[in-house]
Structure 1
Amino acid sequence: MRGAAIMPFEERDTWVEVRTRHDLAADEVISALQKEIRRGHTDNAALLAYEMLTTSEALEAKLWQRLLVISVEDIGYGQVDAPVLIHTLFQMHQHFPRPQGDRYLFALHAVRYLCGCTKDRSSDELLNWVKHTVETEERRPEVPDYAIDMHTAAGRRQGRGKRHFLEEGAVVWPELADREQIYRRRLLALLDSSKTG
């Protein structure tokens, strides 16, 4: 086990010293934006986003960075296509120069959308569990026996060929019910007839 500091915050928050156009602490605005999106409070989330958008180009960039993260960290499996939409809106907004009003529409649409999404934080929880587990040396990654196949030097030394791969290395879970099996059967028949694998 390592020392007491499990997940130290090492990055210096550069937003602590920044004030927004209405003299709010930028780090607090950034924090409030994410908390309001998490709770689905659209009105205040939109106001906070607009504060960021109109304060500076740097704070606008920070807003988009947070929206991209929120789409995975807070929305997650609640709406799995959220990252695609938010990234698309991010790309679209770049076609409009600051401070053109239409440019800000894309960020506000993103905020409104994220507020309305069903939320799921389990991917962030998974990441934090992994970090904690690795940094405290509770667990390390393992290579299971079924991964030692024809694609690895050890698997080739053991004579593990195509049949082993099809029967062990290519196993998927969960598998589509009633999935097409014809090509797998053909492959196995070819291996049987050629006496290889």
Structure 2
Amino acid sequence: MADGDDRQATFGSDGSLETETTPDATGENDFGEEKEANETDGGYSRYVVSSTLQKAVRRSDEEVAAWAAWELARSGYAWNLWDRLNLYVVEDLRAGSDAALTIERYEELATERWDPAEWKGRLCAIHAALAAARARSTREASNADAYFSAVAEVRAEARERGEEPAHDFPVGDLEPEGRFDAVFDGHTGEGSKLDRGTRFFKTHGARVGPEGEDERSARWQRLAMLLDEDVEYDAEELDRAVEPVDPENPWRDPAAAACDEEGSGDDGESGDSESGDSESDENDDTPTGSLTDFGE
């Protein structure tokens, strides 16, 4: 639940721990004893069970994760359970996992359709915990956040000393004509000043990869460019627009890469050789403006 963190623990003016126990979490434990604040039906601290849940899903221990979810749900701490599982989604789950949507659906069923402490609600809790435990665990988001935050401090301290930082962000200063030149298209102030409009965006900023466009998407892209009444593209630009990025260097411009390859021959000569003419002959059927080349 959204207010889960607010209900975990607070401290009074005298420094004593104050806790809030929901009505569903009151009553007797399994031993017939009146439950204390933040005690589960099994006689455990809900803080410990909650921590056990997250550590279990992080370690892919399905049985312990399922028990911890069940214990919290049946004890009236479903809000704590779902808060913890949603925290796992953003803190410990590999990005793109379907488990995130699965957990969200189980929470919706348990809290909006059924009573979270009753049988169906408990089943949802167990299912969600199992989905979390079976998903690929990773601390990549948390690690990235910690790393980028540390680098930010290093950069700021270096600037104050007038020095180059020992560690920097992966984009460096992020300036035009640099490694990430493709980002400075007409959508940025710098790109607009450089008069980088549709042509630059289509041939640089809109490229995808490293898988590239599939055959149909590439055909649509080429046709849309050929039908553009404002910009006339040549064959090289049409090819560049649909060329997948290099998985080893996704920011490298294909034209620059071609120049590097042409200038690195074994005989030391430039790329303007007979082999280059031969390549042009082979590409004579490359569309240069005729829509018939893109027919069915």
TM-score range, shorter chain: 0.7 to 0.9
Worse overlay, 11-20 or 47-56: 11-20
Q: Does 1:155 align with 2:191?
A: yes
1:73 aligns with: 91
Which residue of 1 is the match for residue 127 of structure 2? Answer: 109
Structure 1 residues 13 and 97: CA distance shift in structure 2, 3 A:
closer
Q: Tell me which structure has the larger Cα radius of gyration.
A: 2
Instruction: Tell me whether 1:53 sits opposite 2:76 in the alignment.
Output: no
2:55 maps to which residue?
A: 35
Note the C-alpha offset of 1:105.
1.1
Q: Could you tell me which of 163, 171, 189 is aligned with 2:207?
A: 171
Aligned residue in 2 for 1:64: 82
The residue aligned with 1:92 is 109
Instruction: Provide the secondary structure at the position in 2 that maps to 1:159.
Output: coil
User: Where do 5+ consecutive residues of structure 2 fail to align?
Assistant: 1-5, 11-16, 20-36, 156-166, 175-179, 234-296
The change in CA–CA distance for 1:13 and 1:153 in structure 2 (over 3 A counts) is same
- TM-score scaled to structure 1, two decimals? 0.75
CA contact (8 A) 2:59 2:137 kept: no
Deviation digits for residues 155-193 of structure 1 (CA, Å, limit 9, x no counterpart): 2222111110111111223233644322222233345x6
CA distance, structure 2, for counterparts of residue 195 and residue 109 of structure 1: 55
1:44 and 2:64 equivalent? yes
- The SS at the match of 1:163 is helix
User: Once the two structures are aligned, what percentage of the paired residues are identical?
Assistant: 25
Alpha-carbon distance in 2 for matches of 1:13, 1:44: 22
Residue identity opposite 1:92 in structure 2? L
Contact 2:73 2:121 (8 Å CA) reproduced = no
Equivalent-residue separation in structure 2 for 1:61 and 1:173 (angstroms): 42
For the 8 Å contact 1:163–1:188, the answer to whether it is kept is no
User: Following TM superposition, by how much is the alpha carbon of 1:52 offset from its aligned partner in structure 2, in angstroms?
Assistant: 1.5
* Alignment check: 8 A CA contact 1:72 1:82 kept: no
For the aligned residue pairs, the C-alpha RMSD in angstroms reads 3.1
Would the alpha carbon gap of residues 196 and 147 (structure 1) be closer, same or farther in structure 2, given more than 3 Å must change? same
Residues 187 and 116 from structure 1, CA distance in 2 versus in 1: closer, same or farther, beyond 3 angstroms?
Answer: closer
Q: Summarize the Cα distance change of 1:135–1:85 in structure 2 as closer, same or farther, 3 Å threshold.
A: farther
SS at match of 1:75: coil
Alpha-carbon distance between aligned partners in 2 of 1:12 and 1:132, rounded to the nearest angstrom:
30
Pair 1:162–1:145, CA change in 2 (3 A): same
Aligned twin of 1:187 = 224
Are residues 1:82 and 2:77 paired?
no
Higher relative contact order (CA 8 A, sep 6+): 1
Checking the alignment, whether the CA contact within 8 Å between 2:56 and 2:62 is kept in structure 1 is: yes
- The aligned residue for residue 168 of structure 2 is 139
Q: Give the aligned residue type for 2:65.
A: A
